[in-house]
Structure formats: C-alpha cells, structure tokens
Amino acid sequence: MPSHRTSKNAEPEQDTSAGGPADLEWFAKPDSPEGGKGLRFSCTMCGNCCTGPTGYVLVNDDECSGMARKLGMTMEAFLAEHTHMMPLGRSLNERKTKHGYDCVFLDRQKIPGKAVCGLYEARPRQCKTWPWWSSVIATRDDYDQAQKKCPGLGKGTLVPVSEIRIQRKIIEI
Ligand code: SF4
Ligand code: SF4
C-alpha cells in the first residue's frame, strides 16, 4: 500500500533546474488537479498508511532519541523494545492486528473510529513527509494509485509546489 510502511522503490528525482515547462513535475503543470499550484492533502486519520502488509518505517538515531524521550524510556530500552534492524536500516516494529501489520505506535483507542499516531510530534521523517515522497508523486499514475488508499490525498489544504519539493527532499522514499 502507499504507506509509511511501503517497500516500493522510489523513482529518480526530476531535475527542475532547467526551468522550462517541460522540466516541471506533473503536479506543477497547468493540467494537474490544482492547475499547477500544488496538491491538496488533509489527513482523515483512517490509519491506512500505518498498517497493511509488513513494511518498514526507517528511523535514525536522532528520531529514536526523540521518540524515547517522549515515551520516557532510555534509548537502549527504546531500541530494544520498539525497533529492529532491516537491510535498509533500523525500522519501527509492527504488530499483527485484524487490520494488517500495524505500526507499533498506531493508536486505535484514543479517538473512537480513528487511528492516530501515538507519537505524533515525535514521529519520524518518513511519516512527517507523507505523502510527498518521490515514490508517491513521481508520476500522476503513482499519485492516483496512492489516492486509492489514502483518502486525505486530493482533499483539504492546498500544499504549494514549493513546499512539496521541500518535503520530497527530506527523505528518499
Ligand atoms: S488519510 Fe492518508 S495520511 Fe491520513 S491516516 Fe489515512 S492513509 Fe494515512
Ligand atoms: S510512527 Fe506514527 S505515523 Fe509513523 S507509521 Fe507509526 S503510527 Fe504511523
């Protein structure tokens, strides 16, 4: 699924340095859904992106330190209890539920009918930058596929092209 936990390979970044219309990303062109102004996104708290088939949420030391602090744990305890190593690096653990493999921090109790991140402010970059990953917005087709699973894509707040580009560069997914 187009999730925080996907293993889909990212496509190469588009080079916009030439500056001509042909070099623009599809979402910056006039025939895109928002006329080239950006894309809309407002999370509905459905939780789809934090569950599904087994996947990964990559975390670095700084992120683990912040998450451990939020949970009142030592770094060592946090790493041992909530993470594991994968070929791509360290990832958050997941747990099998009736919905799929939930991220260990997905909270389905806090708000009835919703699924929210139990670490929200301390969530890792991979989560903070969703859905502006290269693999999600590389092509209109990638975006359309992601929109089928993420009901927040295409709705609500208009996120400008400039901000999408910034988010896309933060982590390569
Ligand atoms: S609306 Fe999208 S970003 Fe929000 S929880 Fe659902 S799938 Fe995730
Ligand atoms: S850390 Fe939070 S936002 Fe990221 S996958 Fe887990 S529950 Fe979802």
Q: Using alpha carbons only, what angle is made at residue 135 by residues 143 and 70, rounded to the nearest 5 degrees?
A: 105
110 falls within a domain: yes
Which pLDDT does position 69 carry in this prediction?
98
Please indicate, yes or no, if residue 63 is contained in any of the structural domains. yes
Atom number in ligand 2 closest to CA 5: 5
2 lines ligand 1 (CB under 6 A): no
Could you tell me if residue 44 is inside a domain?
yes
By percentage, how much of the chain surpasses pLDDT 70? 88
Give the H or E element holding residue 44. Answer: none
Residue 41 structure tokens: 């996104």
Domain count, the chain: 1
* 90: phi then psi, degrees, rounded to nearest 5: -80, 140
Q: Does any domain span residue 151?
A: yes
User: Is pLDDT above 90 for 103?
Assistant: yes
Share of the chain above pLDDT 90, in %: 87
Confidence (pTM): 0.89
State the residue range of the domain holding 102. Answer: 21-170
β-strand partners of 130: none
- DSSP string of 81-146, one letter each residue: HHEEEETTEEEE-EEEETTEEEETTEESSSSTT--EETTGGG--HHHHTTT--HHHHSSHHHHHHH
pLDDT tens track for 60-82: 999 999 999 999 999 999 999 99
Specify the pLDDT at position 19: 57
Counting ligands in written order, the one closest to the CA of 153 is 1
Residues with beta carbon inside 6 Å of ligand 2? 4, 50, 57, 92, 103, 105-106, 117, 119, 123, 127
Pocket test residue of 105, 133, 173 for ligand 2, highest count of atoms within 8 A of CB: 105
For residue 132, how many C-alpha atoms fall within 13 Å in the half-sphere facing its CB? 24
